Structure 1
């Protein structure tokens, strides 16, 4: 599916990330993309929040993986494998592509005498080709020397195992995607182990005894398993990249490249922007002077005009202003700074230089689409006293509260406003067996006409330059209306295209209540109306929302036509219709330390009903990494390959690549497979994320940039 993005900034950012994780802090990764030896796991853990990308080849299999250290003791891994000469009904041109997910948890951390102990589930919701479980321990005997031993089940018990508990099915699941709980820790058990020796911080040599006999690959793909002994060598570059070479199973040379980064330690992007003006101190006599209040109306008007010009130099906007003898309230528009505390800090400095000296209390109200989101209260004397001190001292004296729904009144003098940009875009599709990754790259002309802060018309026109999304030919097995799986038709016929063209209305009906109404061409495939209501107290970790949509499918040329809510299966010729109305009730919870959960319950585009659980880990610098799963009343057979909708999300701040402050990001959603069940509208500007960014927990988390 297409995604607007600053692709050039993203590529530059990837280069900038080199060196983000020091080599000596990251363990070796095995051929499954996990901390381990050669093929077998060990009990090491990467530093918290490490994101590792691996690509390797052994025998007839290419393996790529994404591994994320979700918490200090919990790791999740997504793996994508292509096995050549594999006899399976889903093979394409002799290659079978398989997706699998792993989880591993550290039961015990290593101590003086105690080893680290990890329990793991491998390919626990996949087809079962790599299905296995393990319990493994690793002990450091001396610096640079580790010994590992463990027990494996399933695939990891296929060589020299002994009878364990219960029976275990060896069937390869046709649709995949189902938790194989009936197999976990059942069947034969086999031991495995190995030794890793690092003579220096760059090199590691490994020898392991493997309990994986590669039964399926030997029988179907011509793999030779002559020995359980594997040998390996890792070389770690200063950037954190790991190059590994192996001699495996007495028959095969293998190699792998691992790239590790850590969003947690990257810092908040930016730094190229100009420095803010210093706080302007006052004398005692100036503080006591209230002579200016004799003509308060005139003083308010002239002060507002000067403050607006000062904020404009800081790339901020004044949406409303109120001035009293001892207090001033600023309604602040921030379209520039990804760290909300940086925008508040710059606004506070500007106020200290412009406002009459008697004004002691500053109330800054961050505004999103014309909706006042919170009220941040600062004392001017604290700004003067603490400007050269640590930011946390200022935070301790700052107050956070609810913003009144319409105070101060909006200043509409600079409206309407027109903004536009010309930038690259890319659209992508993943895991089609005939082409595992397809991409279109082109140019996107975007515009936004702001009638008022909360009435906004926006849209974009995209022109493809190069790509192969239109080459998708495989027909979906889904027995549902083709609400998503005909994306290739849109890719073939829509060039140039209008991905979105909408008119949005944003409001604040009550103090803790926010609203959105969006009309027009809502996303690349659907037009109609979308209404949303969000309840979010500024001091609460909990929020509730509701969204109701009325949609009709757009023509394949993605211009102005509609084609009705009926689709025809190209194989069976069956025509299926789907409802115009869909929507969800949503619950949000912030667990703290960047962990957030969202539960959506309702009706999806195809008419199926169910729930989506999304779990994300977010970082102060704007990175977000998450996973989601949707289960509806559609059976796995009707859903088709994958059984239910699930995937990973990666959101990268554009500022990583440019060095300039920005609120924009590039978001990629990687689904194990795109199907029609559990499909939601891809609407821009949903309320929760933007509103939450201006509430106390998020503002406080970025407070280190208050003085920047």
Structure 2
């Protein structure tokens, strides 16, 4: 007892050792302090990190799209160096942008360690470029790591490059040029060893770190050189809350580090309880006696709108099947909408009806139809059958026109509008994070069910783009680098104001034409076609647009620059639950090339992705960055709010704004409008059919 009382000053008595946690390094990504480890966070993990180690202030965003792949976008301020001449940068410190990647080569087994291969500053300026091979082995609460690094993390150069036996070029590492292109000097130069220990203390919130790094700080970027009293770094991480870590360390033997990490897992986190949704209608004890031709379908349509989120277009009957045509406008997960609609229909018609079919439409274009067996659905909701029985019987098919009896047609409501907040951002250049917060009014008027006008009125509330003084040199027409002028010339703007027409041209073929103010910088006319077979993991589309540059005030004025732009795009599912899109065509600056987009969408709709664009523009014409690339995150608001919604939050991190590889930001995309043709999305979330 006395030992236990004495020990309570350090560790609470009886507390078991905490589970191992994967925390972020100073550079972002799972690691120790200045060194990475082979460990990976769970798939879907997302973290935002900030830390300070004189003279570096680092801000990073790390994402784990796959359990074996980690990506990081990092923004570093070198605070003892100016961005350039004082006439150019004023007092702004030098800013560096970088993209990192780490790939797991082998997962830890009983005898063998986990092994990972990583690249730091993979496609940035190259100032902190490094490559490494690292291994980890855990024994209880202690996790050991050891690795070899080339470049920045291995600048101590402990020994000659073992790859030199293959080619003499591996013995010399080229100097970083700051171009933003992919390096041609991977694994070159003298490497160094690094390693360390992560210890999960018996007190669950606290982890300790010790490492030996391979950087001697004698050749830091921008002609910096620091004294290193010791290559051993010591640190700790304290879990302040479930999603907040704070860290502190003593590095180089003479320098303090302090940092904070905000993190969550977007794939496994529980969405908030939808307390502001209407309750799901209860099922009747038995079917009503009302035959389909005597139902008050106007009242049923209103309930389908209010509770199931369907804007009903018409209701028909084909034999024992009741069919509802309409647009879903509330529930992100179609299974939830279908389940609620089935409850309402089950309360409305007699037992002549055995199937409920919901035909999902977008602007009168049938996308898919979901058919629910009435009896099985009722048994599952009442917990008398397993959900898997319903999974096997529910059918998601191509919407088809068949002989049917019209029961009801809903009069159209042509005008709709909404009010909300808008947010825009730009990361890059000497001015750091630029942003705008606006009050937005969006409106839509439907002349017919598939011909409509749409517009957006935006009022500036908060904006720091007037500090964006850097007009990047370019050898191309300024199709995007006049960003500051568009963001600061007027407080009330019309980002979009356009007329649209969409139509299903064949069973799997869709088409669309549009014209007007298409985005904040361009007006014009265009068209798109998409071939997307039902239930298939691929599609092919094409768009063609004639556009003219808009005035900086984003009103109806136009500037002289005009061009034709368009792309052919192939979409496909890839191994490892990835989705890919390859677009080939002509960009806004009249350059020709291709964009590759790779992403991972989790079952809850969260999407993490990255893109890269290469065109026939030379590095000199493009300017800093050499080519266009970036990361993005798309999160359904349904995962964040206590009210169901189909809207998304889209965040994009593009290291630089340049004119090469710039695409038209169209308001509508046939591929996103036809997402319902991917039946896997429904079946992955079929558990929501009972909610």
Task: Provide the TM-score with structure 1 as the length reference.
Answer: 0.88
Residues in 1 aligned to 2:682 and 2:216: alpha-carbon distance in whole angstroms: 53
Superposition deviation, residue 594 in structure 1: 5.0
Query: Which of 424, 429, 445 in structure 2 is aligned with 1:449?
Result: 445
Which residue pairs with 1:418 in the alignment?
415
Residues in 2 aligned to 1:242 and 1:695: alpha-carbon distance in whole angstroms: 38
Which residue pairs with 2:127 in the alignment?
129
Residues in 2 aligned to 1:71 and 1:405: alpha-carbon distance in whole angstroms: 41
Q: How does 1:285-324 map to 2 (within 5 A)?
A: 300=293, 302-314=295-307, 315-324=309-318
CA offsets per residue over residues 234-258 of structure 1, 9 Å max, x none?
1123413221111111121111111
Tell me, yes or no, if structure 1 residue 156 matches structure 2 residue 139: no
Q: How does 1:212-223 map to 2 (within 5 A)?
A: 212-217=215-220, 220-221=223-224, 223=226
Query: Which of 346, 364, 379 in structure 1 is aligned with 2:358?
Result: 364
CA offsets per residue over residues 70-121 of structure 1, 9 Å max, x none?
2111111111101122377589436211111111111222222221111111
Tell me, yes or no, if structure 1 residue 72 matches structure 2 residue 70: no
Any unmatched runs of 5+ in structure 2? 1-17, 165-169
Superposition deviation, residue 24 in structure 1: 4.4
Aligned CA distance change for structure 1 residues 495 and 263 (closer, same or farther; 3 Å) = same
Superposition deviation, residue 480 in structure 1: 0.6
Superposition deviation, residue 216 in structure 1: 3.1
Which residue pairs with 2:283 in the alignment?
279
Aligned CA distance change for structure 1 residues 678 and 34 (closer, same or farther; 3 Å) = same
CA offsets per residue over residues 4-48 of structure 1, 9 Å max, x none?
xxxxxxxxxxxxxxxxxxx94641221111222221112211112
Query: Which of 104, 107, 110 in structure 2 is aligned with 1:109?
Result: 107
Superposition deviation, residue 194 in structure 1: 1.5
Q: How does 1:56-205 map to 2 (within 5 A)?
A: 56-86=51-81, 89=84, 92=89, 93=91, 95-141=93-139, 143-164=140-161, 165=164, 166-176=170-180, 178-180=181-183, 182-200=184-202, 201-205=204-208
Which residue pairs with 1:573 in the alignment?
none
Query: Which of 554, 561, 571 in structure 2 is aligned with 1:558?
Result: 554
Residues in 1 aligned to 2:34 and 2:413: alpha-carbon distance in whole angstroms: 62
Q: How does 1:223-372 map to 2 (within 5 A)?
A: 223-268=226-271, 271-272=274-275, 273-280=277-284, 282=286, 300=293, 302-314=295-307, 315-372=309-366
Which residue pairs with 1:459 in the alignment?
455
Aligned CA distance change for structure 1 residues 594 and 336 (closer, same or farther; 3 Å) = farther
Residues in 2 aligned to 1:253 and 1:564: alpha-carbon distance in whole angstroms: 55
CA offsets per residue over residues 167-196 of structure 1, 9 Å max, x none?
3334221322x111x311122121111222
Which residue pairs with 1:483 in the alignment?
479
Tell me, yes or no, if structure 1 residue 50 matches structure 2 residue 72: no
Which range moved further: 30-39 or 614-623? 614-623
Which residue pairs with 1:469 in the alignment?
465
Residues in 2 aligned to 1:302 and 1:361: alpha-carbon distance in whole angstroms: 17
Residues in 2 aligned to 1:219 and 1:227: alpha-carbon distance in whole angstroms: 22
Aligned CA distance change for structure 1 residues 218 and 402 (closer, same or farther; 3 Å) = closer
SS at match of 2:604: coil
Is the 1:281–1:384 Cα contact (8 Å) retained in structure 2? Answer: no
Residues in 2 aligned to 1:502 and 1:219: alpha-carbon distance in whole angstroms: 49
Aligned CA distance change for structure 1 residues 170 and 228 (closer, same or farther; 3 Å) = farther
Residues in 2 aligned to 1:633 and 1:219: alpha-carbon distance in whole angstroms: 31
- Higher relative contact order at CA 8 Å, sep ≥6: structure 1 or structure 2? 1
CA offsets per residue over residues 194-244 of structure 1, 9 Å max, x none?
222222222122221111112333883463222211111111234132211
Residues in 2 aligned to 1:94 and 1:311: alpha-carbon distance in whole angstroms: 57
CA offsets per residue over residues 560-607 of structure 1, 9 Å max, x none?
111121xxxxxxxxxxxx52x111111111237752111111111111
Which residue pairs with 1:598 in the alignment?
581
Task: Provide the TM-score with structure 2 as the length reference.
Answer: 0.91
Residues in 2 aligned to 1:455 and 1:281: alpha-carbon distance in whole angstroms: 43
Residues in 2 aligned to 1:385 and 1:235: alpha-carbon distance in whole angstroms: 49
Residues in 2 aligned to 1:66 and 1:77: alpha-carbon distance in whole angstroms: 6
Any unmatched runs of 5+ in structure 1? 1-22, 293-298, 566-577
- What is the aligned-residue RMSD (CA, Å)? 2.3
Count of residue pairs the alignment pairs up: 658
Is the 1:331–1:367 Cα contact (8 Å) retained in structure 2? Answer: yes
Aligned CA distance change for structure 1 residues 371 and 268 (closer, same or farther; 3 Å) = farther
Superposition deviation, residue 668 in structure 1: 1.7
Which residue pairs with 1:542 in the alignment?
538
Residues in 2 aligned to 1:461 and 1:240: alpha-carbon distance in whole angstroms: 36
Is the 2:218–2:225 Cα contact (8 Å) retained in structure 1? Answer: no
Which residue pairs with 1:588 in the alignment?
571
Aligned CA distance change for structure 1 residues 417 and 410 (closer, same or farther; 3 Å) = farther
Which residue pairs with 1:6 in the alignment?
none
Superposition deviation, residue 282 in structure 1: 4.2
SS at match of 2:690: coil
Superposition deviation, residue 377 in structure 1: 1.7
SS at match of 2:104: strand
